[in-house]
Amino acid sequence: MRNFLRFNGIAVVLTLFLCIGQSAYGDTGYELWLNYKPVTDQKLLQSYMDYCKNIHFADSRYDKAIRDELDIALDKMLGVSVVEADKGEASIRMKIVRQKKLGQEGYHISSRDGRLTIEANGDAGLLYGTYHLIRLMQCGESLDDVDITEVPKIDFRDLNHWDNLSGSIERGYAGRSLWKWDELPDKIDPRYRDYARANASIGINGTVLNNVNASSKMLDREYLEKVAALADIFREYNIKVYLSANFAAPMKMSSTPNDAKRGGGVGQLDTADPMDPEVQQWWKDKADEIYELIPDFGGFLVKANSEGMPGPQDYKRTHADGANMLAKALKPHGGIVMWRTFVYNDTSVDPDRVKRAYKEFKPFDGQFDDNVILQTKNGPLDFHPSEPVLPIFGGMEHTPLQPELQITQEYLGQSTYLVYLVPMWRKFFDFDTWCKGEGSTVAKIAEGKVFKQKFTAIAGVANTGDDENWTRHHFAQANWYAFGRLAWDPMTDTEQITREWIKSTWTTDSAAVKVIEEMMMPTWECFVASQSPYGLGFTTRPQDHYTAGFKSRVNKEWKVNATGIGSDRTTAGTDYVSQYLEPNRSIFNNIDSCPEYLLLTFHFAPWDHVMKSGATLRSAFFDGLKKTMQVNARNRELWSRVKSAIDPERYEDVIERLDKEARDARKFYEEADSFFREASK
């Protein structure tokens, strides 16, 4: 970051850290979309300088963060520093106004007669409004006659970090954890503030610091003090910290200091039964301890009775019993429990894995406390490249649901493939559940517009690491950015998000922007066609979720023979379709009306089934296996067209990624083509 000190009216720049993202060799990508570049259009430059010549701050709790960001942005884009002025003289005025419709985080930006105003009902709105103003200038937009009102559609907008205390990251493909636990709380890495800046700029207001496969040590006093140090930084940017909690923590770690004060001594309990009074008291004391250190702590994320993690079912209790026990401990402090619905351990629930989450949670609809929300993956399998929307969305009328999207590309090429995820997320948000008639989309459910609920939330599994550019692949930054923008408003236009990111990250050159957009948009559909055609299911090796693994998946995840391919989940098969409401149930059940991108999820389809294109499934299937190779070759050529508009270091980094993608995509294709030709005779 840069702080600016003024002596005798002369701005003297002191570089406190290495200039963010810059090195002797060029642009590393560290700045992400806060990559403030000099404005070259002279007319716009003069206009921006006129509007930004002086600023009146509103004396809000985020004034320092606002001023610091404006200092950086105005210096880099306009070559000027922040100058404060009285409200009557300022060219930019920030105001706290009484407008309940803006909530605590919304804002209104308007300009008139050469002056610009950012108004907000809550202090955080001024922070978000400032980032929006900066984004307008980054994207080369006029500030004349601006009239913009923005209010977040979802209350809690969180990143989930699957980071371990060892520094490793589960499903992390960009280096090691950002959190240096061995250095905290005494040493504060400057990168923590840059992380907070990046998230605040796209509206993210919460972060879960540790893996859902949680270590009980995370709740130990030693680590809570480290977490408190991070919370002190993130608080300056309206970001709350949350922790993943191990449900068996009372059995795995020492009791809290409060236990000793009560005369109970320090020691481990012999149970984590949520109905046990000592266990309930342990969690209440632990919550008190956390809030003593972190007054604005957000709450717990819990993975229970899933993939070997402990949970209430270990004691013949329900998910509601477990979640409510934690909720009661947090409620006096205003905390929430985010209870994950990703459960499939018990095969006795149903032989078909995709049915189990719905069957485990549907019976408890309405039994969760009002500060519990069920965090639910977008699909029923496991962040698969292409899945139907999990039918819990629309199926739980009395329990709030929190969509969980995966930004890190676990089954989508990780940080090697260029795969832009907004088209996939758009399909998810636009899906109509029909739970309250036509128009009951997932987006409206997530926004709390379909069912009455106390609060709303959304989570994205982060793709960050300590690589210099945060995400290893420069284009993977787009998915982090896009998640934040969609979390703010799930209906934000795809083209708007894409072009914002390109202009803020790479260049405002109109021809280059168009080319880069052409590169990004088809990548998800092409990847699906090549690696999981028509919603087939898992095709990668269980060990790495990346290389071809057809032999380990066939006849387990799906079937293939000379007759056809897919899984029969119709009423004549596993009857998964019956978890959906009409008309979706009938649409999915009929092979002729089933959306083709989900054809093999719901049907064991004959190879000679005629697709909408007129081609047979066999022909379309094998043609699709080539798609990633084809889009990669196309993107290599498109990228060469923008060479003059991109800095050399990042240009070459992308070339390296595209070349590795080409090699790996060809190898995957060759194995896929060989396997399916042999399997289908």
Look up residue 340 and give its amino acid. Answer: R
In the 8-state DSSP scheme, what is residue 613? Answer: T
- Exactly one of 382, 466, 517, 575 is catalytic; name it: 382
Active site residue 150: no
- Exactly one of 84, 225, 307, 397 is catalytic; name it: 307
3-state SS string over 171-240? Answer: CCCCCCCCCCCCCCCCCCCCHHHHHHHHHHHCCCCEEECCCCCCCHHHHCHHHHHHHHHHHHHHHHHCCE
Of 666, 641, 676, nearest in space to 655 by CA: 641
Q: Are 277 and 333 in contact (CB under 8 A)?
A: no
- Exactly one of 410, 500, 509, 661 is catalytic; name it: 410
Please give the C-alpha separations between residue 308 and each of 27, 314, 461, 630, in angstroms, as whole numbers.
Answer: 43, 11, 20, 40
Q: Are 430 and 129 in contact (CB under 8 A)?
A: no
How far apart are alpha carbons 535 and 595 in whole angstroms?
10
How far apart are alpha carbons 126 and 651 in whole angstroms?
35
How far apart are alpha carbons 161 and 557 in whole angstroms?
28
If residue 119 lies in a helix (H) or strand (E), which one and from where to where?
strand 115-120
Q: Are 534 and 621 in contact (CB under 8 A)?
A: yes
Pairing of strands 156-160, 147-150: unpaired
Handedness of CA 265, 266, 267, 272 (dihedral sign): positive
Look up residue 432 and give its amino acid. Answer: D
Q: Which residues on adjacent β-strands are paired with residue 206?
A: 158, 240
Active site residue 410: yes
Following CA atoms 599, 603, 609, 615 in sequence, which dihedral angle do they give, to the nearest 10 degrees?
20
Active site residue 105: no
If residue 241 lies in a helix (H) or strand (E), which one and from where to where?
strand 240-244
Cis preceding linkage at 583, omega within 30: yes
Please give the C-alpha separations between residue 336 and each of 154, 328, 405, 484, 511, in angstroms, as whole numbers.
Answer: 15, 9, 19, 21, 47
Active site residues: 307, 382, 410
